[in-house]
Structures are given as structure tokens and as C-alpha cells.
Structure 1
Amino acid sequence: MKVIYKSIYIVALFSATLLTSCLNRLDLDPIDPNEDTNISTPEDYFAYLTKLYAGLSNTGQNGGDGDLGGADPGATQYWRVFWNAQEFPTDEVVNSWTDEGAPDMSYMTWSANNPFVLGMYNRIYYQISATNEFLRKSADLKLEDLPDWKEDENGDKPVYATEEQEQWIAEARYLRAYSYWHALDFFGNKVPFVTEEDPIGSFMPMPAGTDERGPELFNYVMEELEYLVSAESKLPAIRQAWLGRADKGAALMLLSKLYLNHEVYLGNKVAGYYEKGREHLSRLINEGGYSLYTQAETENYSAYQSLFMADNEKTASEVIFMIMSDSRSMRHWGGTTYLIAAGIGGDMDAQAQGINSGWGGNRATPTMVDNMELRGGDDRVMFAREDEGQSKEIDNSAEFQQGYGVKKWNNLQQNGTKKNETEGVFTDTNIPVFRLADAYLMLAEFDLRIEGSVSGVAKTYVDAILERADANPVSSINLDFILDERGRELYWEGHRRTDLIRFGKYTKDMNWSFKGGSPSGVPNLSDHLELYPIPAADLGANTNLSQNAGY
């Protein structure tokens, strides 16, 4: 946290070759962060922007090195700590590891000293700090003074007009809003709030607000995103950005999620907010040109499975925002390397999932299994069962073979081969952060929360999801169905905790294995668990902050 409080901002610029999946025409040399380097050219600024995207993908400047001092780089990669915080304390995951803090995340018995909580908090604020510095430097830039780029004789450098700098600023603002949304969702409204407008030097950030459920941070993220989706914004139009980069589709999706969860974030319902969310989501669906991916390239895997495989860039028709992976240049223990390897153990066939061996960490609760199997012959059901040495029931959370294994994430391509013929350790599977099926289910939920019933249009969209899954159709849709269907369609994608809280099922009226620490689960727990504690280390460093209730 010294990075924030002493304003020792990381100006590490990341080689764009580390994002070869989506930036394969760029070959920018990284700028040494230890040198007093003048960052003034389009090349410099784009290298910095690439670092901001890499903050979601990699652990540090060189793939495996860590941006966060004093932390295990592999364990603190952005998507890994995010996924753990979203999935461990829900009905979708039981983790078998006994590392410090891991059982407490599954048991919902964490404290302000939990290293998993600290890892998520620090990763969020590292990303925000790096983005603030990019925007601070961009504010001093005169666009008219920048020369245009020209292609060299080999065509290796694309032409950039100076106005593209404004696009890069908009992308950075989206990435900051994305991380501040995570801060709001996990920690609430009392978290530190810093932007590029704050001074450089030794100062202690003030909290966004004095109440843990309040309007300040929500309003900031909302206003940023409302601007980014406007005609005035230079953020690329829907589906007009390279895969893995933000566009107005990504901003519309995030803004819709903000409005959908506003009762949780604000602590009360605001008239018109559900309607605003539905309006933005309808624009995304109607103008975006997205479509469900329904036809796999081979018969080896279903269309749904293909969304989570090593060549899932081919499913881009459904993808609204994606975090890229590459086994050659993004070598770390987070991302889909973690999602795939941690879900394999015991007698499960690691080669069938495109890696050489598993880590024996995460598996499904019996509650999740029952929900997945409720709809009949569903292509989305991908479990390692008794024939692979796994039992459905879990009496001992530390025993990996208790609990069905989950084979949703896969490092093979649709044709059954590895993408880059690596040694089977690191993965090429990209992370579809937001996708169209999620938007379809959100639209039906907006209808239910506004009118109490689902429109014919939204019902058609839900039917399309079920048809792709080869699942039994439904005659009517209510909120209980939406929550269950979100569990079936979006399981292990990092949505479940937020969904359960929005539906009032996270701490109350729902039970699953090891909820509350009991093998049989504890149905009702204290509502203070809907927020994580602000880490004790940060409270000690910044006396302007105060702890969330219950910790």
C-alpha cells in the first residue's frame, strides 16, 4: 500500500508483445520503470495502456514477477484473487487447500487479516493507482504536439493519428471504473478514493463515503460509465475494438450491472435505476450485433464448451469483454492456468483438459450439482464423477476427491489439440468476463424487477440459452428461476457471490456444504459478511479509514 500512500506510482510500461493474442502487430520495448523516462510519444503512451490491460492478465512486468511487493505473485494475479473472492464463499466451490486464509474463504469465517482478502484489495488498488498515473500524465499531453506514427518498411508499426490518444484515455477510464466497481462490490463505499486529480506526494486518501452502503463511490462509477457510453466519449463503438480491449459494449454491460445491483450498493431502491439499466442493456443487445455462439467447429465439444477452450477467440460473437491469455508470454499461476489446474486432481484426466497435471484445489458443492442437473440433458453439465474417483458428497473439505470435479475450463482447442504446443503447464484459454448470455438473463431479471413478468423478447432470449444447452424449456420465468439459471449458465465464471447477495440468498435462506464452517452448512449467517473487511494493514496505514461493520 506504500504504492498508494506515498504516491510511489508504478510507471512500469509493459511490452505489447505480452498481449500477442490481441496485439500481435505491436512490438514495443518495455520502458524501465527505474529510469527517469520522459513519456511523451504515442508509442510510450500506448505501451503504458498495454500495461494497464496486462494488469488484468499478468502478475507483473515479466509475466511471472509480481507487481505487489511482499506477496506471492502467482496467488495475487488479478483474476485469481477476484475469482476466489467471488466463488469460494458460495454454493459453487469448496476448496481443499489448507493455506493460510483459504479454508476461511470457503467457510465464510474470514477476518481483516485474511491474505486472500488483502490480495484482492491490493490488486484492485494497484490497478487504480497505475491508471491514475496514466491519466495524470495524459492530462499534461498536448495532442496537437504529438507526431503521427507511420508504418515502417516492414509494416510492423500501425498508423496512429493523434486523436487515438483520446481513445486510450477513455479505455483507461473504463479500466479504472471496472476496478472501482470491484472495490464497491467487495468492500463497499468506505474504501479509499483517489483519482488523477489528487496531488502527488505523501497524503492519506479519504474514503469515498462515511457509510459502507452509500452513494459516493456508486455515483462516481455510474457517472464515469454514463460518460463513456455517450456520443461524446472516444471509447470505441460497440464491437469496434480489438478483442481484449474495452469498447462501449463493455461499458454498457458494466453500467447495466451497476444499476442491476444498485439496491445492494446503495442500501435502498432508487426510482428509475432499474429502468436505466434495462435501457442501457437493451441498447447493448439491439445495437451490438452480438449473437450466441451456437455452432462448434467439430463434434468433439459442444458450442457451450467451446466458450471456455484455448481457441475461444473464435466465439467472439458472444463476447462483450475478454481478458486475454497466452501460454508463451503470459506465464504465471493465475488466470485460466489457475482455473483449469486448480480444478483437477485425484484420478481426473489432466491431459483431457489440456494440461499435464492438476493442483487438486477446487470442486463443486452438492448444491451446485443438484442445480446443474435439474434441467435435464444439459450440455453445460461437465463433472468428474464417481467413475473418475470423485464423490458427490463432501464431509472433509481438505479431501479433493470429495466433491465432483468441474471440467468447464479447458486448455485444448475445439479440434482436441493444444494451441501453442507448450509443455502443458500454462494456458491459452482467454477469460470471457462479460458475454451475451449473461446480458440475456439480466434483461429478463430487469423485466421481473420492474414489471413482475418477463417480456416476450426476454423470454425468447432465455429460450435461446436453454436451446443451446439442450436443456428442457420452461413455460414461465420468475426470479427464483433466474438465480438458478444464472448458476447453470455462468457457473465458475466469477458471478455467483454478487448474484446471491442481490437475490438475498448469500447469508440467508440458502444452504450449501461448509457454509459457515459446518460440513452440512449453516443456512443463516450475519449480513455483515456481504462485504469483506477493509484489510487491517490498510487501516493501520491510513487513519482516515474505518472498518466495515461486524469486523
Structure 2
Amino acid sequence: MKKEHFKSSLLLVLSMLLVVSCTDLEIEESDSSIADSETEFTGIEEPGPFIENLYSGDLKGIVENQQDLYALNEVTTDELLVPTRGTDWGDNGIWRKLHEHTWDDQHPYVLNNWNNLNQLVFRASQIVDDRTTNATAAEKAEAQFIRAYAMFWVMDMYGVAPFRTPGDGPEVNPMVMTRPEAYEFILNDLNSALPNLPARGPSDENLRPTQAAANFLLAKLYLNKHIYLGSGMPAAADMTRVVELVDEITADGYALQSGYFDIFKPDVDTETIFFTISSVGNRMWNGLHYNQNSSDNTGGGWNGWSTLAEFYDLFEGDPNTNIPGSGQEERRGYVPTDGSNLGIGFGFLIGQQYDENGNPLTDRPGNPLAFEKQFPGLAGNNERTGIRTIKYHPENGAFAGHQIIFRYADAHLMKAEAIFRGGTGSGDPLTMVNDLRTIRNASNLGALTEQDLIDERGRELYKEFWRRNDLIRFGKFADAWDLKINTDDFRALFPIPATALLSNPNLSQNPGY
């Protein structure tokens, strides 16, 4: 039987919705999700269903949520923003603060993300714990993988990682790992899990971890090691390790695939290493206009999320239109004018939009629905400001449950970057980048710089959770971009939520907050 105690600093304040003006941070039992029992934790009797819920429940919810993990890694960058349109998407300024870099330790998404990830770490630990004696080696490996994934993001985003064993009572404050300690913990979890995970290539079963998924996350660790350990420059040996790990993924049968937007269909392809059954609805409808719809979502879009003109301009093609024949590379997509694809385009939607019959759409006041590149500001926008982005498409299901977490093109670019940064292995970085660009119908680069690498990662991986991580590694997260107010270096880490500091005296606030 599963018996457990949860300390509020890990499962924390899930019912609170803090706003910036909130000053009453007293923790009460009613504020927290606390599962308690009269006896101590003695293990999980049925590990199988419990582990299934880690993936189809906990991880699914974290990945499909447009707030929290996704928003903190995308809306804080030059890639996405959520402008206020009248009163729509105002939400007490919580979206604007992310793009402006003016968040603080009471921002609700900073808190919710901390809660969700730390809860997943704790729940996975219940399977890894020695008291769960009837878990198989494969089941414990899956739990170690999901714990490593969740702790990776805690370490990456907050710079520390609180941890408690399932047998600790509620009177025990969770210990707090430093970033280097958390790095080693994650590394050990993945290396321990690897031999007991299946060696599997492209498959519709890759919603559960494989050796390739573990190697992918290990490659992320080594690629960012100099950031996490604060050592300055990447070590050649670490970059060589990235190359080796990506080569192991390739050996499992993964490869670049042509047909960029086909990768985001709920089908087996050669690129998807790890995915969840998370709904992709948020990824398409949060940016489409209210009058853009499909047969299985007649309510239309939510008309919020957009991108900056400067990010759109990273792609080849006419800067002012994206209709077919605009000289664009495949990844920039296109806006159909003939009613195809339900009238909804792929990639970046700019200019006049059309319905499923090829008729020009209008906004709700009756103006031509032509998406504009520029914003008057983060507030005061009309229904048409901002280029919209879409990778998952409603013609494949308006809320299909198939969202990619790890993709081979990312691994391919990690290897190119690692060799560029001094790693040893087969392949030339420029050739590797150009191989990808050729598949994506983009012209070859004549030379390769750091700027080329970060730009290529943006073009290939937009809206896939990695932009913040990439900008930090390339030293660009504090750069200025349109409508951003602060360029503080300390914002490479998020603050420890105020309520977590109150509930766990072992935590200290990150510098600058």
C-alpha cells in the first residue's frame, strides 16, 4: 500500500493563485496539497499503474500546459509573446511580465512550475525508493528517467533542487542540492537507468523512455555542463561526450526526416525520440484568431500568442508575406490562399488570412484579418497585431494527443554545436548544418558562426521548449529585443517562489530577487 507524507515545500501551494500585489504569504494547511496518513511510507504495491500515471498523468499535464514550463521557457524569449488585446489576455499582467523580464518571486507560473516539477520528482522517487521492493529493474529505470527529466528542469530554471526521500516525515525540511550536486544526481539517475531501458528506434511506443531518450537528456547535460557548473568555457571532453551520445541515438535508427510539418502529425517518424499523449490544442489555438476554426473546434482560436518580427525575419523568404511562392524555406511554412488545409496555414501566419473556401477572413469588427508584424506595445493591441505561429495543425486533430518532447534534429544540431565547440567526432559542423538546411529547403551557409548556430536552432526548434535554454548557453538571454524592458543577467535563473522560502528554511533566494 502507498502511504506517504508530503512537505508543503515540494507539493506546495497548488491552490494559491498569487498576483504581484499579494503580500500575505503565510502558509496555511488549506493552501497546500498535503497527502498524509497515519503510517509511514512503506512502498508502492503496484508499481505498473503508478508509473503509467507518471507519464499519462503528471508528465502529460506538465507538457500540454501553455503556462508554467512552456511559458517560462518560450514567452521569456524573443520567440513568443502574449500581447494584451483589449481585456483579452490581460490576466493582471502575468504574460506581459514574462516577455518584459519583470517577473518576481510571486509570479504564479514561477510557483506552479516549481510545484509541478518537484512533485513529479517526489512521485518518481517513490518507485526508486528501496521500500518499493516489487518494482522491476525496468520500472525503476523508467522512474529514474522521469525523475531526471523533472529535476533537470528544476536545476536548469531555478539553480537548485530540493529533495526529500519518501520516508521523511512532514517535520523534515527537504534538503537542497546545489546546481553541481543536482547535475551529478541527474547524471547518476540516467546512467543507472540506461541499461534497463529498451533499445528502440522510431516507434509509436516512444511515449515511454528508451535508451535513446536517456542519451538525449545526457547530451543536454553535457552540452550545458559549463553553464550548470559555472566553469566558463565548455570542456572538449564534454563536447566529445555529446558527440558520442548523439551517435548512439543515430545507431538506434533515428534520422532527419524531410517534410517538416509532417513530423508534427501523430504518426511514427524517424525524428521523434520521446513524446507524450499531451493535447496539442494549446499549441495551435492560443494564437489563431477567433474566426479561424475547424470542424472539430467550431469555437475558433483564442487570439493571443504571437511572435516578434525579428524572429520571423530569421527565416528565408519575403519579409512581408508568407503566401506560397514567397521564396520561403520550408520551416517558415505558408499561408494558403486557396482554402486548403482548412484555410489555416503552417508555420508563420502573416498578412491576410483565408477560410476553407479561399475567402478572405475578417476580424470581429469587420476589418480584413491581416496579421501585422508590429505591435503598439504589449498592451493596447487590436485583434490583428502580431504574426502567429503554428506547427501542430488542426487538420490532424484539433486537440490530438501527441506532443514531441525530444526530437532527432535537436540531437543533430547538438552534435554540430559540440564539434564546433571543440568536441571530437565524425562530421563537419558546417556540413551538418547545411545537411539539415537542404532537407528544409533552405540555402546553404558559406561559413558557420555561433550566431548561425543559435539562429539555426531557433529556425528548427521554435515552440519546442528549448529557446530559453539555448539563449542562455549562447550568452544571449540578457540581450535586448522588441518590447523587453530588462536585460538583467540574473534572470537566467528564476526566483525561488516566496511561499517555498517560507516553508523550507534550507532554501535561499537566488541573487537579484
1:401-412 aligned at under 5 Å gives the runs: 401-412=384-395
Corresponding position of 2:471? 500
CA distance in 2, matches of 1:346, 1:374: 27
Corresponding position of 2:404? 432
Deviation, structure 1 residue 459:
4.2
Deviation, structure 1 residue 336:
1.7
Corresponding position of 1:305? 261
CA distance in 2, matches of 1:203, 1:35: 16
- Tell whether 2:314 aligns with 1:314: no
Deviation, structure 1 residue 83:
1.0
- Decide whether aligned partners of structure 1 residues 354 and 493 sit closer, same or farther in structure 2, where only a CA change above 3 A counts: farther
- Decide whether aligned partners of structure 1 residues 34 and 339 sit closer, same or farther in structure 2, where only a CA change above 3 A counts: farther
Q: Which residue identity lines up with residue 513 of structure 1 in the other structure?
A: D
CA distance in 2, matches of 1:79, 1:34: 34
What are the Cα deviations for residues 434-466 of structure 1, in whole angstroms up to 9, with x where unaligned? Answer: 111111111110011116x99645544423321
Q: 1:447 aligns with which of 401, 419, 430?
A: 419
Corresponding position of 2:493? 531
What are the Cα deviations for residues 104-126 of structure 1, in whole angstroms up to 9, with x where unaligned? Answer: 11111000000011111111011
Q: 1:364 aligns with which of 307, 322, 341?
A: 307
Corresponding position of 1:259? 222
What are the Cα deviations for residues 1-25 of structure 1, in whole angstroms up to 9, with x where unaligned? Answer: x93348989xxxxxxxxxxxxxxxx
CA distance in 1, matches of 2:307, 2:296: 17
Task: Give the SS at the match of 1:360.
Answer: coil
1:176-215 aligned at under 5 Å gives the runs: 176-189=147-160, 191-196=161-166, 199-209=168-178, 214-215=179-180
Gaps of 5+ in 1: 10-31, 60-74, 144-164, 295-302, 326-334, 419-423, 517-521
Q: In the comparison of the two structures, how many residue pairs are matched? A: 437
Asked whether the 8 Å contact 2:287–2:306 carries over to 1, the reply is yes
Asked whether the 8 Å contact 2:42–2:131 carries over to 1, the reply is no
Q: Which residue identity lines up with residue 285 of structure 2 in the other structure?
A: A
CA distance in 1, matches of 2:52, 2:199: 19
Deviation, structure 1 residue 359:
1.2
Deviation, structure 1 residue 228:
2.6
- Decide whether aligned partners of structure 1 residues 216 and 355 sit closer, same or farther in structure 2, where only a CA change above 3 A counts: farther
Deviates further, 380-389 or 119-128? 380-389
- Tell whether 2:328 aligns with 1:377: yes
What are the Cα deviations for residues 389-423 of structure 1, in whole angstroms up to 9, with x where unaligned? Answer: 2100112324252110112221322xxxx4xxxxx
Corresponding position of 1:85? 72
Q: 1:107 aligns with which of 100, 109, 117?
A: 100
Q: 2:437 aligns with which of 459, 466, 473?
A: 466
TM-score for the superposition, normalised by structure 1:
0.73
1:79-228 aligned at under 5 Å gives the runs: 80-96=67-83, 97-100=89-92, 101-136=94-129, 139-142=131-134, 165-189=136-160, 191-196=161-166, 199-209=168-178, 214-228=179-193
- Decide whether aligned partners of structure 1 residues 187 and 353 sit closer, same or farther in structure 2, where only a CA change above 3 A counts: farther
Asked whether the 8 Å contact 1:49–1:172 carries over to 2, the reply is yes
CA distance in 2, matches of 1:6, 1:513: 36
Q: Percent identity?
A: 28
CA distance in 1, matches of 2:173, 2:162: 9
- Decide whether aligned partners of structure 1 residues 444 and 113 sit closer, same or farther in structure 2, where only a CA change above 3 A counts: same
Asked whether the 8 Å contact 1:187–1:531 carries over to 2, the reply is yes
1:49-64 aligned at under 5 Å gives the runs: 49-59=51-61
Task: Give the SS at the match of 1:431.
Answer: strand
- Decide whether aligned partners of structure 1 residues 167 and 200 sit closer, same or farther in structure 2, where only a CA change above 3 A counts: farther
Task: Give the SS at the match of 2:371.
Answer: coil
- Decide whether aligned partners of structure 1 residues 354 and 410 sit closer, same or farther in structure 2, where only a CA change above 3 A counts: farther
- Decide whether aligned partners of structure 1 residues 259 and 79 sit closer, same or farther in structure 2, where only a CA change above 3 A counts: farther
Asked whether the 8 Å contact 1:346–1:401 carries over to 2, the reply is no
Task: Give the SS at the match of 1:537.
Answer: helix
Corresponding position of 2:362? none
Task: Give the SS at the match of 1:321.
Answer: strand
Deviation, structure 1 residue 278:
2.2
CA distance in 2, matches of 1:470, 1:76: 30
CA distance in 1, matches of 2:443, 2:217: 30
Asked whether the 8 Å contact 1:3–1:126 carries over to 2, the reply is no
Q: Which residue identity lines up with residue 454 of structure 2 in the other structure?
A: L
CA distance in 1, matches of 2:510, 2:290: 40
Deviates further, 525-534 or 233-242? 233-242
Q: 2:378 aligns with which of 373, 391, 397?
A: 397
Corresponding position of 1:336? 280
What are the Cα deviations for residues 456-480 of structure 1, in whole angstroms up to 9, with x where unaligned? Answer: 4554442332122111122322221
Corresponding position of 2:248? 283
TM-score for the superposition, normalised by structure 2:
0.78
